[in-house]
């Protein structure tokens, strides 16, 4: 027999955001919040060192087509260096990872509450 899993929210006795029912999630949140920039800087430095060791030039690929200025877009938005663009992209990935962890832990909490595991 298959039991349906609730799609929205969880009626936990401790509450869905209680720190005592999700220590792993809280630990990951604290770690990623504290070490977010350090992780990115270390990864960028590792990539630079690897490029230098292999003799590969690290250059930003230029787009042949002219880019248009859209409403609300500033010129400064386009002039990111390679390091800045990589850092921005990596920070977006970490933010997305944090969202996925929160969603997964919420689902696990609901399953735990439902089946009393």
Structure confidence by residue, pLDDT tens digits, 88-115: 999 999 999 988 888 888 888 788 778 8
Assigned domain for 6 exists: no
- Smallest CA-to-CA distance from 105 within 29, 25, 31 is with 25
Mark 2-38 as b/e (b = at least 16 C-beta within 10 Å): eeeeeeeebebeeebeeeebbeebeebbeeeeeeeee
Structure tokens at 80: 């990111």
Residue 62 belongs to some domain of the structure:
no
**Which pLDDT tens digit goes with each residue over 46-65?**
999 998 999 988 777 766 55
Q: Please check whether residue 28 lies inside any domain of the structure.
A: yes
Structural domain total, the chain: 1
- Confidence band for 44, pLDDT divided at 50, 70 and 90: very high
CA distances to 3, 5, 110, 117 from 21, rounded to whole Å, are 22, 19, 11, 12
Confirm whether 68 is domain-assigned: no
Residue range(s) defining the domain that contains residue 40: 23-57+82-115
In the predicted model, is pLDDT for residue 16 greater than 90?
no
Q: Does residue 70 lie in a domain region?
A: no
Q: Which of 93, 108, 115, 78 is nearest to 3 (CA)?
A: 115
101 and 29 in contact (C-beta within 8 Å)?
A: yes
pTM greater than 0.85 = no
* Residues 60 and 82: beta-carbon distance below 8 Å: yes
Q: What is residue 49's DSSP assignment?
A: H
């Amino acid at each position: 027999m298959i039991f349906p899993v609730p799609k929205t929210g969880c009626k936990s006795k401790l509450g869905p955001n209680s720190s005592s029912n999700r220590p792993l999630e809280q630990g990951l949140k604290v770690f990623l919040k504290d070490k977010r920039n350090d992780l990115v800087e270390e990864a960028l430095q590792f990539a630079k060192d690897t490029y230098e060791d292999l003799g590969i030039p690290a250059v930003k690929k230029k787009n042949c087509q002219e880019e248009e200025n859209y409403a609300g877009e500033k010129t400064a938005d386009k002039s990111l260096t390679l390091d800045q663009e990589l850092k921005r992209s990596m920070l977006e990935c970490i933010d997305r990872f944090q969202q996925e962890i929160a969603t997964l832990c919420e689902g696990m909490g609901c399953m735990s509450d439902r089946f009393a595991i």
